[in-house]
Amino acid sequence: MPRNIHPLLVFLSLALCSCLNKGCTQARTTTDTQDPGDNRINLFIWGDYTSESIFAAFEQQSGIKIVESNFSSNEELLAKLQAGASGYDLIIPSDYMVRVMKELDLLEPLDHTKIPNLHNIDPRLLNRDYDPKNSVSIPYSWSLAGLIYNKNKVSPAITGYLDLFTRDNLRHRISLLDDSREVVGSILKSFGQSVNTTDIEKLEAAKIKLINLKRSIREFTSSPVSMLRHGDLLAAQIYSNEALRLIQTNPEFEFVIPDEGFTMAIDNMAIPRASTRKANALKLINFLLREDINLQFARELLAAPVIINAKAKLPEFMQRQPSISQFDIIEKRGEMLMDLGPHTAKYDRLWTEVKASSI
């Protein structure tokens, strides 16, 4: 035994090691063991949802390089993590998917002391049912799914999903999101039903409707802007932030909040359990929650900011948009997708059958 070490200290050290090995204290995360020379973050995020200038500012300040890759749906994100993808350090799942990933133990508990800018967030976006106390997720932005159409080429005006689904002049000139819950939800809304129904008869009716609609749908895509701009599409289901970016430069387009109802989502920043760069990810989360950075993000992407009292600090164009400036009204009128547990398999089967069907 080395000199100057009391036997009692040796006993306590051995006991502590044994306790840790048996899991009787909270396990340490790999944040503590990150290679200090690993100055990179692999970000997995929705397409067209980031700012190059903001990333450049973060990289210059921190010396950490952001490597971005994209997914088109929450289900794709989940499938990648469940398949064992271990290279992602920061991901952006929507509300209901946070709950799913949390229950599957795919997300790292967040150390709020490493995110001091958390106090900048609008309290209305915090402590939601899908993640009380925001233990594994922090709001990134919020949006709704609606419709967009070319006013110069489509008449009369589109007001909801029924217009999109029934107009002969739109045949093969529309797109729907490449997202099973959003697309099936739009059909259910057109039937006057909840986007979270688990009733097998209602889902079967939605499947039949979707299969018949494939004759009119040009493509399932979560990025329809290019085809809209070039005239390949006359109308599309689209997320509000992406729609507003198109409208700002192409005023012939109009964004529509569907009469029948719509889905609203809060997108979140989360760190996968398998990440080996958790410390870097926490630095990026905190940076993105700076008031000036979040407002810059909102202005550049025409996305809804998450900071307190943001409306008065936004450009006039954004203040006029209900999809950004009227959170309380949107939340009251919209419906958030829910984690359906084992019933999710019904949606998965429906979507597979729709995609595989011939027209």
Average of pLDDT values for 142-148?
Answer: 97
The CATH classification number of 38-142+266-322 equals 3.40.190.10
Helix (H) or strand (E) holding 208: helix 200-213
Least confident segment among 28-37, 47-56, 245-254: 28-37
pLDDT for 228: 98
pLDDT for 141: 97
Q: Does the pLDDT value for residue 354 go beyond 80? A: yes
Q: Give CA–CA dist 124/120, Å, rounded.
A: 12
229-254 residue pLDDT tens: 999 999 999 999 999 999 999 999 99
Q: Does the pLDDT value for residue 16 go beyond 50? A: no
Q: Does the pLDDT value for residue 359 go beyond 70? A: no
pLDDT for 14: 37
Residues 5-40 as b/e (b if ≥16 CB within 10 A, e otherwise) read eeeeeeeeeeeeeeeeeeeeeeeebbbeebeeeeee
H runs (alpha helix) in 214-250: 225-229, 240-249
- Give the end-to-end CA distance of the chain in Å, rounded to a whole number: 79
Residue of 271 and 38 predicted with greater confidence = 271
- The mean predicted confidence, pLDDT, of the chain is 90
The values of phi and psi at residue 42, to 5°, are -95, 110
Do 261 and 144 touch, CB atoms closer than 8 A?
no
Q: Does the pLDDT value for residue 30 go beyond 60? A: no
Q: Does the pLDDT value for residue 18 go beyond 90? A: no
253-310 residue pLDDT tens: 999 999 999 999 999 999 999 999 999 999 999 999 999 999 999 999 999 999 999 9
87-138 residue pLDDT tens: 999 999 999 999 999 999 999 999 999 999 999 999 999 999 999 999 999 9
Return the domain boundaries, the chain.
38-142+266-322, 143-264+335-356
pLDDT for 85: 78
Q: Does the pLDDT value for residue 24 go beyond 80? A: no
Average of pLDDT values for 211-217?
Answer: 94
Q: DSSP code of 72?
A: S
Average of pLDDT values for 322-336?
Answer: 93
Q: Does the pLDDT value for residue 20 go beyond 70? A: no
343-353 residue pLDDT tens: 999 999 999 99
Stated pTM of the model: 0.84
36 pLDDT band (50/70/90 cuts)?
low
pLDDT for 33: 60
Do 343 and 337 touch, CB atoms closer than 8 A?
no
Average of pLDDT values for 318-331?
Answer: 92
- Domains 38-142+266-322 and 143-264+335-356 belong to one CATH topology: yes
Q: Give CA–CA dist 59/188, Å, rounded.
A: 44
DSSP state string for 251-319:
TTEEEE--TT--EEEEEEEB-BTT-S-HHHHHHHHHHHTSHHHHHHHHHHHT-B--BTT-GGGS-HHHH
Beta sheet of 40-46, edge-to-edge order:
65-71, 40-46, 90-91
Can you identify the CATH homologous superfamily of domain 143-264+335-356? Periplasmic binding protein-like II (3.40.190.10)
